[in-house]
């Protein structure tokens, strides 16, 4: 699972430019005393101090967990990708739009000049 995450991280980092930044590691974010969430990758607009995209590794073993992660993150971030290495898929969830499973590529909604090639992400998982 983590090989796919690192491949996504590398592709994002290769294509984004400042003030957009891609996290170097998995992070847990505390938003308030009662609200926190973790993600494997966060992409942030540092100039605006906001999240653009978060990527979370999760398995299809418990689909309710993915729904919970999405609801929590959609409060702070407009787009969440759930990476499921068991199913070899990425569920793209954009706030106020229907979720879909990515095909051969994904273009983040807030980063239209970035295309992530999904064909090789799961090759060693």
pLDDT digits (tens, 9 = 90+) for 53-112: 999 998 767 778 888 889 999 999 999 999 998 888 999 999 999 999 999 999 999 999
Element spanning 68, H or E:
helix 63-74
Ranking 27-31, 67-71, 121-125 by mean pLDDT, the lowest is 121-125
Closest CA to 12 of 123, 125, 106: 106
Domain presence at residue 123: no
Domain presence at residue 122: no
Domain presence at residue 78: yes
Which structural domain, as residue segments, surrounds residue 57? Answer: 2-117
What distance in Å separates the CA atoms of residue 16 and residue 42, rounded to the nearest whole number?
A: 12
Domain presence at residue 125: no
pLDDT at 51: 97
Domain presence at residue 58: yes
Domain presence at residue 23: yes
Here the contacts of 3-6 (C-beta below 8 Å, separation 24 or greater) are 3/122, 3/124, 3/125, 4/57, 4/83, 4/85, 4/121, 4/122, 4/125, 5/40, 5/41, 5/55, 5/57, 5/83
Domain of 61, CATH number, reads: 3.90.1570.10
Q: In the Cβ-directed half-sphere of 101, how many Cα atoms lie within 13 Å?
A: 7
pLDDT at 1: 58
Domain presence at residue 43: yes
Number of domains in the chain: 1
pLDDT at 19: 97
Residue 123 predicted with pLDDT over 90: no
Domain presence at residue 36: yes
pLDDT band at 46 (very low <50, low <70, confident <90, very high): very high
């Amino acid at each position: 699972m983590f090989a796919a995450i690192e491949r996504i991280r590398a592709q994002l980092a290769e294509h984004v430019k400042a003030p957009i930044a891609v996290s170097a590691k998995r992070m847990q974010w505390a938003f308030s005393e009662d609200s926190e969430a973790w993600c494997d990758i966060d992409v942030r607009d540092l100039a605006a101090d906001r999240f653009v995209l978060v990527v979370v590794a999760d398995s299809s073993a418990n689909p309710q967990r993915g729904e919970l992660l999405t609801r929590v993150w959609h409060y702070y971030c407009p787009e969440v990708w759930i990476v499921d290495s068991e199913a070899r898929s990425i569920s793209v969830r954009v706030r106020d739009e229907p979720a879909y499973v990515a095909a051969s590529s994904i273009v983040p909604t807030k980063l239209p000049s970035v295309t992530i090639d999904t064909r090789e992400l799961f090759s060693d998982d």
